[in-house]
Amino acid sequence: MTPARKHPRLSRLLLLFFLKSAAVNATFPQPSIIASDNNSKIHQALTTLLSGPLSGQDLLLVTDDHTQRLLDLNQVMEAAGASLTPVFLATQHSLLHTPRPAHHTKGTLLTALLLFYQDPTDFLLLLADNTNWNPSYLVLFCLNPNLNTTTVLSQPVVQRSHFILLLHPSVQADRHRIYAYTSLPMQVSGRGRPLTKAPMGLWTQHNFHTRQSLFQPRFQNFGGYVVKVTVLCYDEPFLYFRDEDGCQGSNVHAPDFGGKDFCQGINVDALHILAKKLGFRFVMISPDEINFGEKVNGTWTGLFGQLMYENKDLNINVFQPNPDSASEFDYIYPYWDTSFSFLLILPTPLPQWTNILYPFSSLIWALIFVTTILVSCPLGLLLHHLFHLRDSVTNAFEVSSGLVGQSMRVAEEVQVWWVRVWLLCWLLAVDILSSVYSGNLVAMLTVPAFPPKLHTAEQLAATNFIPSMADYGSFVPDALRTSQNPTLAMLGEKLFLDPDLTPCDPYNALIEKVLRGTHALLVSRDYLRFTQAKKNVTRSTYLMEERLYKNYMTWFLPQHTPYTATFSHHMTRLLETGILAKLYRDHVGTLITHDTQVRGDGVLNLSHLQGAFILLVLGLGVAFIVLLLERLTNKTPPSPPP
């Protein structure tokens, strides 16, 4: 075995050292054109750029054929090489035809520097086919003062980058200067045209000596841009219809244009905040069918299909990133965590007459019975044997009467300290037990008692409940069926998918099945809590404690959307400042807190206290039976007490 295989960390360090050395020490053909004043300015600006603001982070340097003949890149690399860590070199041809690692072409830590003399439009059109091309920082350095760089900036592949800098030389009255530009496509000029090429000023080392001054934010103001939002208003409490007529209205909702806002929720409120902050307007568009979207035979359907094929800009439904969606769409940093839970009907309450037993568990009742026998019977036998005090059974019953707060004559008749200590310990114990029983009895009499609930998926799988979901394109059905967990796989086999989704209430039929006690509804936990309160079934249903597939909610945008990071930043700020939590409370907090409180009826009636009367009737019946037995076994009538 080679040393590199024994020490993989060493091999990686050697490989990294080789790549860096090859990058910094790469040589270029010597320029065949004599450097002019313009080339001298470009050479100086490029050296300053590489050794200053662009130093310290990964850099991809891409050149065209003419660049190597116009500039002495060897000299540039030597002048700036000490501060470059690392540099990846490529020509336009090699970038298009040579496979590269993803971190060479995309990422928040990558800066791409494109040097070109000829019009790079054809190259950029071919580069657009590379879905991995998306550097966060893009520098376009044009060496030709006569080239129309506005066309270059307008290319979609250029607009993918979150930050863009264009350096373009200019010759006026034999004076050679370099000007800096950025691109603000969301804003318009005084003539009403998009600021595809927005000037930043004359390039000098003093003006652009930091990375922040070099890369200015492009999306601080959207300039009234209209964001097309595709939504389905079925993700309570994050998205839901404002009223019952909303689901029957138009499928185009434009609140910022005077139209009625049919869809409301936490995400709509958050989008309004972002729109006001960033200066954009939005129109919400609902598809004709209820299909949240999934990838079927290589084609996206539903809301994802709207983003992929229908030129929509944003989706604010409750989605979680998965390998397919994360690789083909942009998404913001998760702003909320959720999970899936089962909604089940509460078991039928136990008969109220049994409430008299509920203050103590079966174990406590058994311990009380055994303890009473062990305390009263031995003491009764000892009192009868040592002091000839009545019979043993009478003594035992008298000692046991302490459980119900009765006085014991034994303590007065027997003047022996060991008996007093015995009775003192017993009285303390029964006083505590009777106090606890009495205190807990009030709650047990007024609150219905239920059989044990189901708490785990394993318990649910062992019952006759049918797991059910609406067939809206969720990943959960496939995840259950293909799960390696036997319990989840069993639930997946039993899962019922309801294809009949009514526009106004897609879960109404399934909730009715839940209330009939045949099905268990599986949806996100936030949705179930909101639905419980909205349909007033909080007291008749419950959420199973075990949570499945905990995940994180996000908003999706088309792939390579340059303002994804802007939306992500501001949504994270809403989360960190507690605004999202406040919106959540506004929509569901008070409603859920009010409806989930379990209250008694206020007064005790016969249904609450029937257990005591039943116990009395049973006791009298037992006494009557004992009386009959005594009369049958003893013909002599008992003597009256003295």
CATH number at residue 70: 3.40.50
Residue 522 lies in a domain: no
Structural domains of the chain, count: 2
Residue 220 lies in a domain: no
Cα–Cα distance between 64 and 46 in angstroms, integer?
15
* Separation in Å, CA 463 to CA 40, 207, 341, 497, 545: 82, 72, 16, 19, 16
The residue out of 214, 237, 272 marking a domain boundary is 214
Cα–Cα distance between 589 and 553 in angstroms, integer?
19
**Weakly modelled stretches of the chain, pLDDT under 70:** 1-39, 79-85, 173, 243-261, 352-353, 356, 358, 379, 384, 387-392, 394-420, 422-424, 440, 442-448, 503, 589-617, 619-620, 623-624, 626-627, 630, 634-642
**φ and ψ at 17, to 5 degrees?**
-65, -40
Residue 30 lies in a domain: yes
* Long-range contacts from 29-37, C-beta under 8 angstroms, 24+ separation: 29/68, 29/69, 30/72, 30/74, 31/68, 31/69, 31/70, 31/71, 31/72, 32/69, 33/69, 33/70, 35/72, 37/176
HSE-CB of 436 using CA atoms within 13 angstroms: 15
DSSP code of 586?
Answer: I
The two three-digit tokens of residue 278, written as one number: 């960033």
Residue 640 lies in a domain: no
Q: What's the confidence (pLDDT) of residue 531?
A: 85
Nearest to 168 by CA among 197, 151, 144: 144
Residue 36 lies in a domain: yes
Q: What's the confidence (pLDDT) of residue 43?
A: 82
Structural domain range at position 65: 20-214
Residue listed under structure tokens 């399934």: 510
Residue 574 lies in a domain: no
The two three-digit tokens of residue 594, written as one number: 């009010």
Cα–Cα distance between 300 and 307 in angstroms, integer?
9
Residue 4 lies in a domain: no
The two three-digit tokens of residue 489, written as one number: 């796989």
Q: What is the DSSP string of 322-365?
A: -HHHHHHEEEPPP-EEEEEEEEEEPPPPPPGGGGGGTTS-HHHH
* Separation in Å, CA 101 to CA 88, 193, 274: 11, 38, 35
The residue out of 393, 423, 438 marking a domain boundary is 438
Residue 79 lies in a domain: yes
Q: What's the confidence (pLDDT) of residue 34?
A: 36
Query: Whole-prediction pTM value?
Result: 0.70
3-state secondary structure of 177: strand
Quick check: bond before 237 cis, omega within 30?
A: yes
The residue out of 397, 420, 438 marking a domain boundary is 438
DSSP code of 42?
Answer: H
Q: What's the confidence (pLDDT) of residue 147?
A: 92
